[in-house]
Amino acid sequence: MFVNAIEKAAKFTRPIHTISKSFRSNEITPGAATLFLINDEGYAITCRHVIELLIQSDQVVKNYNAFKVDRDKLPRDGKYKRQLEGLKIKYKISDNTTVQLKNSFVGCVDKMSGFTWHLHTEFDLAILKFNDFTKLLCSEFAVFKKDTSDIQQGKFLCRLGFPFPEFNNFKYNDTIDEIEWTNTGVNGSPRFPIEGMVTRFLGDTKGGKYGIELSTPGLRGQSGGPLFDNDGLVCGMQSRTKHLHLGFDIENAEIMSKGQKKKVSDYSFIHLGECIHVDVIKDFLRQHKVKFNEQ
pLDDT at 79: 86
Higher pLDDT, 206 or 89: 89
pLDDT at 208: 77
CB-based contact 57:101 (threshold 8 Å): yes
Percent of the chain with pLDDT over 90: 85
- pLDDT (tens digit, 9 = 90+) per residue, 138-165? 999 999 999 999 999 999 999 999 999 9
CA 234-238-242 angle, 5° bins: 145
Q: Is the pLDDT of residue 205 over 70?
A: no
Domains and CATH numbers, the chain: 3-294 (2.40.10.120)
Q: Where are the alpha helices (DSSP H) in 14-159?
A: 48-72, 80-90
CB-based contact 109:131 (threshold 8 Å): no
Q: Which amino acid is at 92?
A: K
CA 31-98-192 angle, 5° bins: 10
Q: How many angstroms separate the CA atoms of 80 and 77, rounded?
A: 5
SS3 241: strand
The average pLDDT across 246-264 equals 90
pTM of the predicted structure, to 2 decimals = 0.90
Name beta bridge partners: 17.
32, 104
pLDDT at 293: 97
The average pLDDT across 263-281 equals 95
